[in-house]
Amino acid sequence: MSATRHILRAGARCLRSDSIIASSSPAASLPSSPFPSRARFSTTSSARNVPTAGISQSIPPTSTTTSGQNPEAQTQAQPNRPDHETHFGFQTVTEAEKTQRVAEVFSNVAETYDRMNDFMSFGWHRVWKDHYVSSLNPGSHPPFSTPPAQHILDIAGGTGDIAFRHLAHAHTHNGNPNVRVTISDINPSMLAVGRQRSIAQLPASQQAALSFLEANAEDLRSAGVADNSVDLYTVAFGIRNFSNIPLALSEAFRVLKPGGVLAVLEFSKVDRFPLFNAVYKRWSFGAIPLIGQLVAGDRDSYQYLVESIEKFPSQREFRDMIVAAGFEVGGQGWEDLTGGVAAIHKGMKPVRA
C-alpha cells in the first residue's frame, strides 16, 4: 500500500474512533478543557508571569515513555533547558530565554495579531488556513453513518483561527456535531483574545464543543494531556516559535492515537523561485517590521517574526524532523503553498506504534 493511501485509511480509522480522551478525563466536562490540567486557561492570569516559566518550573521534567517512538526523538525530554542554545530570530539564546521572549512577543501583539496578519500577508493567511483545514476534512464520515466522535488539539492555537475553521468544517460542512476542539497555547493573552472571539463569532453549539488549555507544546503531560488521546493534532504558524521543536514533535507523537494525524502549517522556503524569493525577502524584512511599527506600535516583535521565518528549517529538513519523531509521511511529506511561502507538513502516528 502506498504511504499516502496508508495515511488516508488511517485518517478514516481515526475519524471512526469513539474513545477520544483518556478515561480519566470526564467526558461531560465541555466546554471546559477535557484535560485534567495543572495549567488551565484562566482569564485572570497575568500575561507576563504565566507563560512557560511558571509552568515548567513548578512541574517535574516530563519523561517520554511512549513505546514505538523513534528513540532519537526521546533524547531531549525536558523543556526550557537553561544550558541549551537555540535561536530567537537571528540571536542565539538559551531555550529558557527564547520561551520567555516569545511569550513577551505574543503578549505584546495579541490585541493586534489578527489585523496584522491581514496586512502582512495581503489576506493570504486566510486562504492558506482554509485550504489547510479543508485538506484535513475534520468530522468527515461516510453518508448515512453515525458521525464519529473526534478530538482535535489545536496547538499554539492563539486567537482561534484554525480551531474555528475546524468546528465550522466538522459541524456545518460535514454535519458532525461530535467533533470537539481544544485550543492550546502557552500565552494567556492570545487565549483571552481567542475566547472573546469565540463568544462573538461562534454559534452556541460550536462554543460548547470548544475548550481552552494553557500549555507549553513541549510539555503537554504537565497540562494533563494523556498518551494516545487525540485524533488530530494541528499547529499553524506556531512551531517555529518553539524552543525545542523535536521535543514538541515527540509530545505530538505521544498524545496522538495510533493512526492519528499531525498537521503543521508554517512559513517555509521559496528557494525554488530565486526572483520571487528576492522580492519576498525584501518585502518581509523591509515592510513587515515597518507595518508592525505603524499598525501595532511594535517594530521589534515583527522584526522577530520575520527573522524566525528565516531561521526555520527548509521543507525537507522539517520533514526529516517529523520522521525522526516517529511519524510516517506520505509522498515527499509536505505541500507548498504560494510557491513555498508557507507549507503544510503531515505525518501519521503508525497504527502499530
Ligand X SMILES: C[S@@+](CC[C@H](N)C(=O)[O-])C[C@H]1O[C@@H](n2cnc3c(N)ncnc32)[C@H](O)[C@@H]1O
242 binds ligand X (CB under 6 A): yes
* Sole binder of ligand X in the list 50, 77, 102, 116 (CB under 6 A): 102
Q: In this chain, which residue has its C-beta nearest to ligand X?
A: 158
Taking the complex as a whole, how short is the minimal distance between the CB of residue 146 and ligand X, in angstroms? 31
Taking the complex as a whole, how short is the minimal distance between the CB of residue 30 and ligand X, in angstroms? 21
Can you tell me which residue has the cell 483574545? Answer: 193
Q: Strands, DSSP E only, in the chain? A: 85-88, 91-94, 150-155, 179-185, 210-214, 230-236, 256-267, 334-337, 342-348
343 binds ligand X (CB under 6 A): no
Would you give the binding string for ligand X spanning residues 134-173, x where CB under 6 A is met? ---------------------xxxx--xx-----------
246 binds ligand X (CB under 6 A): no
Q: Longest C-alpha distance within the chain, in Å? A: 56
Query: What does residue 232 show for φ and ψ, rounded to 5 degrees?
Result: -140, 125
Asked if 151 and 230 touch (Cβ cutoff 8 Å), the reply is yes
Is 216 annotated as a binding-site member? yes
Can you tell me which residue has the cell 521534567? Answer: 61
Taking the complex as a whole, how short is the minimal distance between the CB of residue 143 and ligand X, in angstroms? 32
By CB under 6 A, the count of residues binding ligand X is 20
Taking the complex as a whole, how short is the minimal distance between the CB of residue 96 and ligand X, in angstroms? 12
212 binds ligand X (CB under 6 A): no
Q: Which of these, 279, 281, 283, lies nearest to 120 by C-alpha position?
A: 283
| Alpha carbons 219 and 348: distance in angstroms, whole number | 20
| Alpha carbons 296 and 301: distance in angstroms, whole number | 10
CB-wise, 148 or 158, nearer to ligand X? 158
Would you give the binding string for ligand X spanning residues 40-79, x where CB under 6 A is met? ----------------------------------------
* Alpha helix segments (H runs only) across the chain: 3-16, 53-58, 95-109, 113-121, 124-136, 161-167, 188-201, 204-208, 245-255, 274-291, 299-311, 315-324
* Sole binder of ligand X in the list 241, 301, 308, 315 (CB under 6 A): 241
Would you give the binding string for ligand X spanning residues 177-206, x where CB under 6 A is met? --------xxx--x----------------
* Sole binder of ligand X in the list 11, 188, 238, 333 (CB under 6 A): 238
| Alpha carbons 53 and 59: distance in angstroms, whole number | 10
237 binds ligand X (CB under 6 A): yes
The total number of residues shown for the chain amounts to 353
Which is it for strands 230-236 and 256-267: parallel, antiparallel or unpaired? parallel
Footprint on this chain of ligand X (rule: CB under 6 A) = 102, 106, 155-158, 161-162, 185-187, 190, 216-218, 236-238, 241-242
Give the annotated binding-site residues for S-adenosyl-L-methionine. 159, 185, 216-217
